[in-house]
């Protein structure tokens, strides 16, 4: 079985389209005799006549017409293969393993990833919920490419950049919503039974405590919740109220109401990644962030 290489196909197509050896040779930037020899060798290898030589010029034979049709497809596939290899090198193809924790994925990050995948559909996204301390270890060991969370500590070999600033909301049982104004300030939290998060693993809990202390009162902790979702469940069953980031408002429920918390400091949502040795797909995402942050997206 004869296998055609790319140069043979290129020469054959040029002659088939021009039906003139001189013009085909000029198009290929080569002299006519070597091109003539290539075509004759091709016909010999295939054991068939591809061109009919007449006094009026050259014509494709039926086998030649069939080969031309297949040659177009083979050349297109070859070009596509090179293109995809170049895309893989630049990060256009690949995969991003991304970690998040709790409600961080529900608002700004979702929109961010949606816009990125719209621009780069060949990059596959895999999401996994992982505790923040584990996220950093996984990134450092190249198990993960990116992570989204709040208030990452300074870590060697890890860089972060802020992707969003989330406003805070007060969450109350829906049956009590009518007792609250359309928006509240931090002072309104004084003496309220707060659903808080464990401070030994939640920087958002530190954020809430600092917010209350800055307003002149310590928080009254009713119960500690495992995460935002469980905090909302505690609120729904009437155990207290909770301060949550804007992303948590995406978990709409008929049992709870969200009230804007005026004057509360926003909390930064950040993206963490390796300082060096990143994959092309990771660099592509960071370039996307740069463009987005510059206002060009």
Task: Give the model's pLDDT for residue 216.
Answer: 94
The whole-angstrom separation of Cα 243 and Cα 117 is: 32
Decide which of 1.10.10.10, 3.40.50.300, 3.40.50.1820, 3.40.190.10 is the CATH code for 6-90: 1.10.10.10
Residues 6+ apart with CB under 8 A from 226: 197, 198
The residue ranking higher by pLDDT, 26 or 199, is 26
Is the predicted pLDDT of residue 195 greater than 70, yes or no? Answer: yes
Q: Cite the residue boundaries of each domain of the chain with CATH code 3.40.190.10.
A: 94-164+269-293, 168-265
Give the mean model confidence (pLDDT) for residues 120-139: 88
Taking only the tens place, the pLDDT of each residue in 81-100 is 776 677 666 655 688 999 98
Return residue ranges of the chain for CATH 1.10.10.10: 6-90
Is residue 235 within 8 A of residue 171, CB to CB? The reply is yes
Give Cα separations from 255 to 17, 91, 177, 179, 252 (angstroms): 72, 44, 10, 15, 9
For 197-219, write each residue's pLDDT tens digit: 875 556 788 889 999 999 999 99
Q: Which residue has the tokens 């090198």?
A: 89
Relative to beta strand 220-224, strand 193-196 is parallel
The residue-averaged pLDDT of 219-239 equals 91
Mean pLDDT of 223-237: 90
Is 209 exposed, middle or buried (CB count within 10 Å of its CB: 0-12, 13-18, 19+)? middle
Take residue 21 and report the two structure tokens written for it.
Answer: 């050896």
pLDDT: is 125 or 202 the higher one? 125
pLDDT for the residue 200? 52
pLDDT, tens digit (0-9, with 9 covering 90-100), for 240-273: 999 998 888 887 778 899 999 998 899 888 999 9
Q: Is 69 exposed, middle or buried (0-12, 13-18, 19+ CB in 10 A)?
A: exposed
Write down the pLDDT at residue 169: 95
Total number of residues shown for the chain: 297
User: Tell me: the pLDDT tens digits for 41-85?
Assistant: 999 999 999 999 887 789 999 999 999 988 888 887 777 677 667
C-alpha closest to that of 126 among 106, 97, 169: 97
Tell me the C-alpha distance between 111 and 285, whole Å: 14
The confidence score (pLDDT) of residue 72 equals 83
Does domain 94-164+269-293 fall under CATH 3.40.190.10? My reply is yes
Q: What is the pLDDT of residues 136-182, one digit of tens each?
A: 889 988 889 999 988 787 888 999 999 989 899 999 999 998 999 99
Identify the pLDDT of residue 91.
58
CB 150 within 8 A of CB 226: no
Rounded to an integer, the average pLDDT of 228-246 is 92
Q: Identify the three-state secondary structure at position 221.
A: strand
Instruction: Decide if domain 168-265 falls under CATH 3.30.70.240.
Output: no
Q: Give the β-pairing of 94-100 and 146-150.
A: parallel
The torsion angles phi and psi of 216, rounded to 5 degrees, stand at 100, 15
pTM, entire model:
0.65
- Cβ burial, residue 35 (10 Å; 0-12/13-18/19+): buried
Residue 180, number of CB atoms within 10 A of its CB = 14
* pLDDT higher than 80, residue 26: yes
Instruction: Give pLDDT, residue 55.
Output: 79
């Amino acid at each position: 079985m004869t296998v055609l290489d790319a140069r043979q196909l290129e020469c054959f197509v040029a002659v088939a389209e021009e039906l003139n050896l001189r013009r085909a040779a000029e198009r290929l930037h080569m002299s006519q005799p070597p091109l003539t020899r290539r075509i004759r060798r091709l016909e010999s290898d295939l054991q068939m006549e591809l061109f009919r030589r007449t006094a009026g010029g050259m014509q494709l034979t039926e086998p030649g017409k069939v080969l031309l049709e297949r040659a177009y497809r083979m050349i297109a596939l070859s070009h596509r293969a090179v293109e995809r290899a170049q895309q893989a090198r630049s990060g256009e193809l690949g995969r991003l393993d991304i970690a998040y924790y709790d409600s961080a994925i529900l608002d700004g990050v979702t929109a961010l990833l949606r816009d990125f995948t719209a621009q780069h559909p060949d990059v596959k996204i895999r999401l996994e919920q992982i505790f923040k301390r584990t996220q950093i270890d996984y990134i450092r060991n190249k198990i993960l490419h990116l992570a989204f969370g709040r208030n990452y500590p300074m870590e060697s070999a890890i860089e972060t950049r802020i992707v969003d600033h989330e406003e805070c909301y007060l969450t109350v049982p829906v049956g009590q919503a009518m007792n609250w104004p359309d928006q509240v300030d931090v002072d309104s939290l004084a003496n309220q039974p707060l659903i808080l998060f464990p401070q030994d693993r939640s920087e958002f809990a530190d954020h809430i405590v600092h917010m209350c202390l800055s307003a002149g009162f310590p928080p009254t902790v009713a119960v500690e919740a495992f995460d935002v979702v469980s905090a909302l469940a505690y609120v729904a069953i009437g155990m207290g109220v909770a301060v949550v980031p804007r992303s948590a408002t995406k978990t709409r429920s008929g049992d709870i109401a969200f009230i804007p918390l005026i004057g509360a400091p926003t909390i930064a949502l950040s993206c963490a990644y390796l300082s060096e040795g990143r994959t092309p797909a990771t660099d592509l995402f960071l370039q996307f962030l740069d463009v987005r942050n510059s206002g060009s997206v």
